[in-house]
Structure 1
Amino acid sequence: MSQSQVPKVSSGKIVRLENFPSKLISARNIDIWLPEGYSNRKKYAVVYMHDGQMLFDSTTTWNKQDWQADEVATKLMKSHKTKDFIIVGIWNGGETRHPDYFPQKPYESLSLNQKDFVIDELKKIGRTEKNFQPVSDSYLKFLVSELKPYIDQNFSVWNDPANTFVAGSSMGGLISMYAICEYPEIFGGAACLSTHWIGIFSDNDNPIPEAFLKYMEAYLPSPKTHKIYFDFGTVTLDAFYPKHQAKVDELMLKKGFTSNNWKTLKFEGEDHSEKAWAKRLHLPFEFLLKK
């Protein structure tokens, strides 16, 4: 991954780990945001966020938008609405983003015909040239066995699930859902914004949402110890999500989740963009990290 400028933040500071090496996935930049006044004399919760290059500085992103994660986090901590936390922004691997983030076990549960359908759909829009094979099990293993130990060792953080969270949007929402299901002993909460339940970019005869539901039915973590946040807009790509989210919500109720440990929010008229996610990022942060 090329050297690129470190994002400028309005408060706190970014520590860049350039091309963080991994035995499991391609090397990538990690941008760690530390709040103003960060000190080794106290400990912080940690939010691991996907698509790390989109989080902090719109002047460095491809679409000139960002999540304003530093502003949002600073405001919440200053008003004592959340415990103190740091953000670990994990860059996506560019062309590896779709295979890195696509939940692997649900994909592997598809029939051969269904996999062919998925591959054809992804080829149509140029998301894959060859046969598509998710590697999200390796991506999550990287997160918990390579990156998290590094963060725990080098920063002043709590390392228990009650203080360890994962967050992302779209495909990043899917991998956040997958992370808390696969590693409930690591992550105590997940924020899944505009979760890309359709996995591809068409919803006709699409077997993927059903595969995700079946997987979640088997692997959702305990509502006694975990919190999950979902949301969606209603236009552009988000227009696909309401009907699928409704089925997920049914499952959450069935699994014993209540308003104490689960939220699904609808944002009428909001689209699929960093601008939209920035406007509401305070909600999942507050829900997961409230004091």
Structure 2
Amino acid sequence: MRFITEFVAGFELSIHLPSSYQEENKRYPVIYLQDAGNVAMDAFNYLQHLFNSKQLPELILVGVKPHDRNHDYTPWPAGALVTGSSSFGGGAGRYVQLLADEIKPYIDRHYLTMPERENTAIAGCSLGGLVSAYAYFNRPETFGKSAWISASFWYEGFIAYMQETPLPAEKHRLYMYVGELEGIYKQTIQSGMVAQTKEAHRILLAKGFPQEQLKFETDPLGTHDSFFFAARFMNALKWLFADGTDAFPR
């Protein structure tokens, strides 16, 4: 893959182009990744294998580096979880707007993308998964697929937001994951990570999200770290863009 760094709308982008890029008449789906796309880089060689072996169609990956995760990825302000840690700024609305209205159009103008919503995904882990969920509710006309990997559904008020907000009318394909050991040693609201994620899944189905468009995985040994995020990201890509079989079957 070819790597390019760009600065758009004040954000640093890490753009990963397929090996076949610039072949005649070829365009590619795009996935926008939070946290600079680190989840893809953590399993880059295996990801390349999935492309080379045709288990995945080639994609353009756009990693977006946040200015401040606690601000960019949270939907409304909230206090710090523990004394001495940072509070949450609630800047996700502005961040998602810039991603949809400035960053994506720039990528579509300058790269060989398939710009339609059904060929455009957003994904992230932890708070990056939370803002990806928020983008689904707020910009469904832009992002037709998403992956919420160990998303921070413990965030104060987010489950209530999901309960109160109608599902977007546009068809969406979604991957969700949480590890069963996430948050079990926390003394804060993060201890509810697993229960809140399962509640988020229940809410989606109860509101009518098509079950055939949603894949929800758990792992009895899963903790909240990149070791598990990267493996589940491969499964997410296969669900969103390929045959839906697991890249890492259990």
- Contact 2:182/2:193 (8 A) holds in 1: no
SS in 2 for 1:216: helix
Distance in 2, matches of 1:215 and 1:271, equals: 26
The equivalent of 2:174 in structure 1 is 228
Residue 260 to residue 56, structure 1, CA distance change in 2 (3 Å): closer
- How big is the shift at 1:289? 0.8
The runs of 5 or more residues in structure 2 that have no matched partner are: 185-190, 244-250
SS in 2 for 1:37: coil
1:14 maps onto 2:26 in alignment: no
1:179 maps onto 2:135 in alignment: yes
Question: Which of 25, 46, 50 is the equivalent residue of 2:30?
Answer: 46
Normalising by structure 1, we get a TM-score of 0.74
Residue 236 to residue 254, structure 1, CA distance change in 2 (3 Å): closer
- How big is the shift at 1:21? 4.4
The letter for the 2-side match of 1:233 is G
The equivalent of 1:215 in structure 2 is 161
Question: Which of 241, 262, 272 is the equivalent residue of 2:214?
Answer: 262
Distance in 2, matches of 1:214 and 1:250, equals: 13
- How big is the shift at 1:51? 0.1
The equivalent of 2:91 in structure 1 is 135
Deviates most, 224-233 or 176-185:
224-233
Distance in 2, matches of 1:135 and 1:275, equals: 28
After superposition, give the CA deviation of every residue in 1:82-103 in whole Å (9 maximum; x if it has no partner).
332110000121xx21111012
Distance in 2, matches of 1:125 and 1:230, equals: 31
After superposition, give the CA deviation of every residue in 1:228-256 in whole Å (9 maximum; x if it has no partner).
11111122537632211221122122122
Distance in 2, matches of 1:56 and 1:264, equals: 20
The equivalent of 1:3 in structure 2 is none
Deviates most, 171-180 or 236-245:
236-245
- How big is the shift at 1:78? 2.6
The letter for the 1-side match of 2:59 is F
After superposition, give the CA deviation of every residue in 1:8-54 in whole Å (9 maximum; x if it has no partner).
xxxx121111xx242xxxx3321001121212520100000000162
- How big is the shift at 1:123? 6.0
Distance in 2, matches of 1:181 and 1:248, equals: 13
- How big is the shift at 1:163? 0.2
SS in 2 for 1:175: helix
The equivalent of 2:74 in structure 1 is 102
1:77 maps onto 2:51 in alignment: yes
The equivalent of 1:203 in structure 2 is none
The letter for the 2-side match of 1:196 is S
Radius of gyration: which is bigger?
1
- Contact 2:147/2:174 (8 A) holds in 1: yes
- Contact 2:177/2:218 (8 A) holds in 1: yes
Deviates most, 34-43 or 84-93:
34-43
- How big is the shift at 1:141? 1.0
In percent, how many aligned pairs have the same letter? 27
The equivalent of 1:36 in structure 2 is 19
Instruction: Supply the RMSD in Å over aligned alpha carbons.
Output: 2.1
Distance in 2, matches of 1:186 and 1:271, equals: 31
1:89 maps onto 2:72 in alignment: no
Question: Which of 124, 146, 165 is the equivalent residue of 2:102?
Answer: 146
1:126 maps onto 2:90 in alignment: no
Distance in 2, matches of 1:283 and 1:53, equals: 16
Residue 77 to residue 278, structure 1, CA distance change in 2 (3 Å): same
The runs of 5 or more residues in structure 1 that have no matched partner are: 1-11, 58-66, 108-117, 200-207
- How big is the shift at 1:196? 0.9
Residue 166 to residue 127, structure 1, CA distance change in 2 (3 Å): same
The letter for the 1-side match of 2:152 is H
The letter for the 1-side match of 2:220 is E
The equivalent of 1:194 in structure 2 is 150
The letter for the 1-side match of 2:85 is G
Normalising by structure 2, we get a TM-score of 0.86
